[in-house]
Amino acid sequence: MSTQASIFKPDENCSTISKARFAAPVVDCANYYRALHEAISKAKHSIFIVGWDIDSRIRLLRGEEEKQSELPSVISELIALKAKENPELTVHLLRWDSSLAFLGMREVWAKEVWDEKTPDNVHTVLDSSIPMGGSQHQKIVVIDDELAFAGGMDVAVHRWDTREHKIEEPERDDGDGTYGPFHDVQVAVSGDIVTELSKLVRWRWNRLVTADQQVSEEVKPAITDDIPHCWPDSVEPIFENIACGVAQTVPFMDNQEPVQEVRKMLLSLIEQAEEFVYIENQFANRGEIAEALNKRLKECPKLKVLIFSSYEPKGTVECEAYWAGRIDFKRILENGVDDGRVLMAYSSSTNADGLAGHKRVHAKVTIIDDKYFVIGSSNLSNRSMSLDTECDLIFEATTKAHRNKIRWFRNDLISEHSGWAEEEVQNYIESKDTFEKLTSCKDEYAYCLKEAEDENFTDQGLQDLITPFGDPQEPIVPSIPLPGGRKFFLPNPSKRTLILSAAFFIVALLVGGGYLLSQNVDFMNREYLTDVLESFRNSPWALFIVCGIYVVAGLLFFPVTVLSLAVAMVFGALWGTIYGMAGVMASTAVLFLIGQIMGDKGLRKLAGPKVSRIDRKFAENGIFGVAVLRMIPVAPFSLVNLVAGISSIRISYFLAGTFMGMLPPMIVKALVGGSIADIFRNPTPKHIAFLVGGLLAWFGMAYGSQKLVTFFQKKYQTKEKENQTPKSKESESEDETATQLM
């Protein structure tokens, strides 16, 4: 595939050299999602998707295309249908198990969501093996080992847009609010290069799963002569028989030695530049790349460099790690170079209503003259060169037709961003005042290129503090030396681990805080409570005061049993039961409503599908289920109230079940509490017998409740097995767990 002068150097700046029988850049997400929908619809044998994100909710088609499509538009529904119709089809989804930094953008329980929505021949794995601070950043799709997509696009929220990039676009809304114009690039390939990518995605999969989940890494050679059956109808092949290499960034992970092919390939490509370098990239802050470009500009007086990126940063981390770094990048790039040879730009427009819009750039494209072009996942950032997993495809022109198509591709991209026609772009590139002409706006409402002035966003005051965490070159947590000179890098904690740890910490803090308060603060002490209750025993407001104490105690996670015993000791068996139940119901209602508000604010989303199944079991058993739960102290009283509010059970059912479940033990507590008070006043055998009998009844009720729920569990499971079709072992296990936790 390569010649003697080829840029490709295996095991140095690329993993492999191959050839693409057909290749076609796919510009902007509307086109890519359409192509992906078409390819998945044609899949017969296998689908591999490796991504930073694979969001099950994403609609691949929009507008009239979505309405007229015979197949589902939502990717999870499409894959589920295809997998169900063709049991021989296997689908493997590999997604980064990301940190809390992206909690608002991504599905929290991604694996469970996909497992819930799809049949057994769809498999999902979350990659949490990347060193601390890094991410799984490759974006690769392989269909039937004959077609592959690679580049900068994920199946994720806030990605979809058309090439028009309208200032106002109703379809740019994934259910969590609208977003602005968004630009990205992917490439579709067939031929031998697909075989290499097939091996890559299988290797990525197998290193994350157990032996019984692994797939064979032997791949049949792709069909090279004809267009594959799964090639999307909406994508026209542009390049034929073009040399193609794969460059990766692989950090140290699970004994995998680091690979920095992307970094070395970019430096190799820059050394080949002679006339025009065009780069569009999400970030441009890697000083080493700026130095290489500056060196080449000084070596080649005719060389010009255009770097296209976003206008404004999103958040402090982007501002101080990437935009502040872009100021340094620009200064290094322009140092000692004549004016008019370098432009770092963004693209913006204003519509007829005077509303301005700036393109958000997510693409990772590099074009060197008309000889080479790169479409991949790598940014010009520190992390993409060493810490994230990346995959770039590098194409090398070996014919005049290839060079013509590379020029067309470059000019087509610049045309989209500048508003000038492709022929005009080419003329401007060949002229002396290239960037002066390209930055002049052709039409009033067209997108225009403008020079980036990042000093408007940052004075770089926090750059040194934030860059090591926002754009690190090495893992945030240092490596641990091992025998034999090896090193161990602590991987990113999974999102699930972080969320559950935070939830456990909060609950432990509440319970522990309530206990400490009860032991060290007078008004949380049982003796003090008894004295307080005695002080208004005969007050007409006693009922309301008791209810208020129960509500406050519930908020502080104070043990309800201790409080109920104190109420019984003061008010006796009858009124102690009445006042105690009134207080229990008041505290239950308040905490339930607080939990309901928390659920509406997002905690219900964090619960995930497995907890949702448990929730359904809980709701299906209704009042009886709540009553049983109340009789068996499986969790603190206040915690149960909060969780119930987050769940989907009705408050009326929960209150009714609470009343049924709490009344019997409340009566017993009243008897016990009253007996204790009577013993202090008059320790007769009768009062002692009441105390002993009450305690025995209390323990007997708890034991009997456990037996009762076990009986109904068995009866329910038997009925379920008789009425339902056979399930997978995993589903049966999950349902059994749900019933046990009811």
Helix (H, G, I), strand (E, B) or coil at 214: coil
Helices 526-535 and 542-555: crossing angle in degrees, nearest 10, is 160
pLDDT at 602 over 60: no
Domain membership of residue 174 (yes or no) is: yes
Domain membership of residue 461 (yes or no) is: no
Domain membership of residue 442 (yes or no) is: yes
Residue 222: per-residue pLDDT: 72
Q: How far is Cα of residue 504 from the mean position of the Cα atoms in its chain?
A: 21
| Of 342-351, 433-442, 546-555, 570-579, the least confident | 570-579
Average pLDDT over residues 74-99: 93
Cα angle 532, 534, 537; round to 5: 115
Domain membership of residue 438 (yes or no) is: yes
The answer to whether residues 428 and 438 touch, using CB atoms and an 8 Å cutoff, is: yes
Per-residue pLDDT reduced to its tens digit, 334-374: 999 999 999 999 999 998 888 999 999 999 999 999 999 99
Number of separate domains in the chain: 2
Find the helix or strand (DSSP H, E) in which 151 lies: strand 147-151
Domain membership of residue 646 (yes or no) is: yes
Both ends of the chain: CA-CA distance in Å?
63
Domain membership of residue 63 (yes or no) is: yes
Shared domain check, 506 and 411: no
Q: Which two tokens stand for residue 183?
A: 């630009």
Cα angle 315, 321, 462; round to 5: 85
Per-residue pLDDT reduced to its tens digit, 219-278: 888 777 789 999 999 999 999 999 999 999 999 887 788 999 999 999 999 999 999 999
Helices 637-646 and 542-555: crossing angle in degrees, nearest 10, is 80
Shared domain check, 658 and 553: yes
Shared domain check, 513 and 452: no
Q: Of 437, 456, 475, which one is at a domain's C-terminal end?
A: 456
Shared domain check, 277 and 141: yes
Residue 741: per-residue pLDDT: 30
pLDDT at 521 over 60: no
Shared domain check, 502 and 438: no
Q: Which residues pair with 148 in a beta bridge?
A: 142, 189
Q: Which residues pair with 346 in a beta bridge?
A: 450
The CATH number of whichever domain residue 386 belongs to comes to 3.30.870.10
Domain membership of residue 467 (yes or no) is: no
Residue 292: per-residue pLDDT: 98
How many whole angstroms separate alpha carbon 615 and alpha carbon 612? Answer: 5
Confidence of residue 132 (pLDDT cuts 50, 70, 90): confident
| Of 199-208, 359-368, 663-672, the least confident | 663-672
Shared domain check, 527 and 431: no
Shared domain check, 37 and 91: yes
Q: Of 435, 456, 477, which one is at a domain's C-terminal end?
A: 456
Find the helix or strand (DSSP H, E) in which 114 lies: helix 110-117
pLDDT at 396 over 70: yes
Shared domain check, 546 and 602: yes
pTM for the model: 0.74
Shared domain check, 178 and 318: yes
Residue 612: per-residue pLDDT: 56
| Of 118-127, 132-141, 328-337, 635-644, the least confident | 635-644
Domain membership of residue 8 (yes or no) is: no
Q: Which domain holds residue 537?
A: 496-740
Average pLDDT over residues 643-672: 74
Shared domain check, 400 and 291: yes
Shared domain check, 505 and 440: no
Residue 4: per-residue pLDDT: 44
Shared domain check, 507 and 412: no
Closest CA to 321 of 469, 105, 186: 469
Q: Which residues pair with 93 in a beta bridge?
A: 49, 124
Q: Of 400, 432, 456, which one is at a domain's C-terminal end?
A: 456
